[in-house]
Amino acid sequence: MFILINEVAGYLKVNINDAQSEEMDEESLEIERIYIKKNAYISSSW
């Protein structure tokens, strides 16, 4: 969860154990998606 000035700015959808798309060890997790609210997104010119 991302917090921006006491508001939730986004969150992650994660998979653990058998839900992961690749076999990993017991302590691993997989980030499936990253959700960020439009008003919390800051673009940059990196």
Q: What is the pTM of this model?
A: 0.58
Closest CA to 15 of 28, 26, 36, 29: 29
Residue range 4-44, pLDDT digits in tens: 577 788 899 999 888 888 888 888 999 999 998 887 766 65
Please name the residues in contact with 29: beta carbons below 8 A apart, sequence gap of 6 or more. 14, 15, 16, 20
pLDDT of residue 42: 65
pLDDT of residue 33: 93
